[in-house]
Chains A and B, each alone.
Chain A
């Protein structure tokens, strides 16, 4: 049993090692994404700093500082969750593009192990990017974390990552089913999740018909909870109203995403879609 778990972890590690090697070879692109992430987050932070000039609102430094952090929590948390969504969503599309999809799917690796390895690689990359972006942004704008409850934030982020993995595995199904346009569909799903999850605003400002979508997005709860934890120092008990829905989404989306993926793989094998080109 333990040997079997060890063997599966070894197989899963193959994907982590491969992704790290690919990141090194595509280092110029990694720098592009990092710079893009820093610049986007900084731009959002400067909106808060320039708010008084735009709206004529309060210039109270405490208020501005809180608004900067409000927006930064949204943008960096979304960067973290979005990277998970993107990279997992590209699991199939990337291999199809490289031409390796057939050899990967022929390998004697259970699909669960394959996806577990990809999740681990994705989490490492997303965490590295998010920490780097936060560090870089802190050099330019004042980030007041004096009231933050970091433990609550870490638990929320971990829960959000798990919940997003299920969603991302589900979206990776699109390129399996639609070889030509599947990835575009996955990106559209990601864009909609961004819109409805209250990344830069409270979801109460959304039109009524859109709000049900915000209820099923795990990002809504994670970002809301992260704000409570980092702006107001909410402890675990206080963030629980946002934690449990994210846990429920994760508990539902991971098995559902996996089942969908396995079904899509069988469909792709039946219809000849498991190949490098459409």
Chain B
């Protein structure tokens, strides 16, 4: 099924790898608490398309709805309203087929921490129908490319640094050869060197392996460096979308930071700060 879809999409010119239309998601409090517990509108009528082969950067502060949107696209949440399609497949009706086409890296690497990188990745490969004979050399090659030496591959993951664990998470996503890769703040908390290595790998992924990438970040430099187009998410709404140059031209010139401030009324780092630290 996945192979048929892959062959099918290759023949088209501009295919929507991901098409979301008027997507909404709210979270209600678990129980009615007197004086508290309001419904949170995490995603409020978002429509966007990510074209095949594109790197689309979704920029927004903490709490803007980026992660909820990624979880919706990952089939981990169902939308309250709206329509989401991955290469034309409905994420609800064609869930299993969609799952074969996507993979995700979340902000925090999630593994069986007592197992080694190799054990975790072989397991992940099996879940995507890749036998260990095929996955093992591929895993070694990907991890080498990400700067992880042979000796570290067989150590329990809990002994690796956070940066290394995040690289293993990226390797896991890449192992399944996804047509659509969802990266949810993949470089948050990494040191500069690891961040650069991951960013280079992401770009190479798109250039060499025909992957489409949706990247959420609150790092303006990262968005500018990697993304072909950028969408700015603010309070669950997509308030602007375009190439960095288009956004700058449309919103009075200047940098992405200026554009973000014009659209949201805040600098990105202020918007990320806890409420009590924000400038008034």
Binds B, one of A52-60, A100-108, A168-176, A252-260: A100-108
* 4 nearest CB pairs, A to B: A14-B126, A108-B99, A25-B114, A107-B127
Q: List 11 A-B contacts (CB under 8 A).
A: A10-B126, A11-B129, A17-B123, A18-B112, A22-B112, A98-B111, A99-B108, A100-B112, A106-B102, A108-B129, A274-B76
Binds B, one of A34-42, A124-132, A203-211, A263-271: A263-271
- Point out the residues of chain A lying under 8 angstroms from B123, CB to CB: 14, 17-18, 21
Min CB–CB distance A266 → chain B (angstroms) = 7
CA distance A266 to B112 in the complex (A): 25
Min CB–CB distance A188 → chain B (angstroms) = 20
Asked if A66 CB lies within 8 Å of chain B CBs, one says no
Asked if B212 CB lies within 8 Å of chain A CBs, one says no
Given A106-B104, A108-B100, A272-B27: A13 and B126 within 8 A (CB)?
yes
Q: How large is the interface on B (under 10, 10 to 19, 20 to 34, 35 or more residues)?
A: 20 to 34
Asked if A140 CB lies within 8 Å of chain B CBs, one says no
- Point out the residues of chain A lying under 8 angstroms from B100, CB to CB: 108
Min CB–CB distance A98 → chain B (angstroms) = 5
- Point out the residues of chain A lying under 8 angstroms from B27, CB to CB: 271-272
The answer, among A17, A106, A109, A270, for a CB contact under 8 Å with B74, is: A106
The answer, among A10, A18, A110, A270, for a CB contact under 8 Å with B129, is: A10
> What total of A-B pairs shows CB separation below 8 Å?
91
Q: Is the CB of B110 within 8 A of A99?
A: yes
Residue of A with least CB distance to B25: A272
Asked if B273 CB lies within 8 Å of chain A CBs, one says no
CA distance A110 to B156 in the complex (A): 29
**A231-278 residues at the B interface, CB under 8 angstroms:** 266, 269-272, 274-276
Asked if B190 CB lies within 8 Å of chain A CBs, one says no
Please give the residue numbers on chain B whose beta carbons come within 8 Å of chain A beta carbons, in ascending order: 27-28, 71, 74-78, 96-97, 99-100, 102-104, 106, 108, 110-115, 119, 122-124, 126-129, 131, 156, 172
Interface of A is mostly: helix
Min CB–CB distance B201 → chain A (angstroms) = 19
Q: Is the CB of A7 within 8 A of B110?
A: no
Given A107-B99, A107-B127, A108-B127: A21 and B115 within 8 A (CB)?
yes
- Point out the residues of chain A lying under 8 angstroms from B106, CB to CB: 102
Q: Is the CB of A21 within 8 A of B127?
A: no
Q: Is the CB of B76 within 8 A of A21?
A: no
CA distance A109 to B108 in the complex (A): 23
Min CB–CB distance A101 → chain B (angstroms) = 8
Q: Is the CB of A21 within 8 A of B75?
A: no
- Point out the residues of chain B lying under 8 angstroms from A99, CB to CB: 108, 110-111, 113
Q: Is the CB of A26 within 8 A of B96?
A: no
Chain A, residues 1-45, CB within 8 Å of chain B (1/0): the string is: 000000100110110011001100110000000000000000000
- Point out the residues of chain B lying under 8 angstroms from A276, CB to CB: 108, 110
Residue of B with least CB distance to A7: B129
CA distance A269 to B100 in the complex (A): 19
Residue of B with least CB distance to A26: B114
Q: Is the CB of B111 within 8 A of A105?
A: no
Residue of B with least CB distance to A101: B110
CA distance A102 to B74 in the complex (A): 9
The answer, among A18, A101, A108, A269, for a CB contact under 8 Å with B128, is: A108
